[in-house]
Amino acid sequence: MNKSEQDAPRLFLPGWGVGIGPLQGSLAKTRWQPMPFPGTSGGVVPATFAEARDSLLRDLPEVCHLGGWSLGGILAMAAAIAAPERILSLFLLATTPCYICREGWKLGRPPTELQAFMTIIKQEGMAILPRFVGNFCRGDVVPEAAAEVRRNATPMPEAVLNNGLHWLYEADLRAEVAQISCPVTILHGENDPMVPVEVAHWLAEHIPLARLIVLPGRAHAPFAGDDTGLLQELS
């Protein structure tokens, strides 16, 4: 990688529901900058996953390094597949190519579970946040991880919450990840209850230039409650 590529912007997308806030502490120690989901800062919120990918590509600089946590990582992969000449590298944190179970894919969540969650969000909004965060931090060896994520969560517009769940439901990149041609770092918690670590191994096997780092004892927010600068080491 030449100097101009090394100096290209490094942008990091958040996970669903909690916004960029939980990532900011770790990213502050690195060259990465947080980037909100399409529609978060105003304008039309994309209704479909394909529209969200296209909106992201319009918002990105001509070339950049792109990272993402969970849903943000799915969007980052989709951008790299659609515009490989623009994405110099990927950083995937607790990411999956397909969030729900489908034919030939048993590493996702049941579709009915996500559908039920969509209904709860429409009824309760982010009042569900404490329970949601507690669930995805379950099994983490860092006891304060969930509290840190909740404390730093950034409110997201209702349309982004609702449409983001539809993006999750629609996204299926399994047949396309082998097209990703840039270097990819995959960082995944060993105890992730939302996206099992087997998914990270699957991605590492199917993306040509991938390297996988599994964090022992960590869950779906492996950066939370940890001051070791993991993202600094990997940026």
* 84 domain residue, yes or no: yes
Compute the residue count for the chain.
235
| Total domains, the chain | 1
Which residue in 233, 226, 234, 217 sits closest to 23, CA to CA? Answer: 226
Give the global pTM.
Answer: 0.95
Domain containing 29 — which CATH number? Answer: 3.40.50.1820
Range of the domain at 117: 6-234
Task: Flag whether 1 is in a domain.
Answer: no
Q: For 61-101, what is each residue's pLDDT tens digit?
A: 999 999 999 999 999 999 999 999 999 999 999 999 999 99
Q: Which pair of tokens denotes residue 189?
A: 């918690």
Q: Is residue 211 part of a domain?
A: yes
The confidence score (pLDDT) of residue 165 equals: 96
Query: Is 25 strand, coil or helix?
Result: helix
Q: Using CA atoms, how far apart are residues 54 and 188, in angstroms rounded to an integer? A: 26
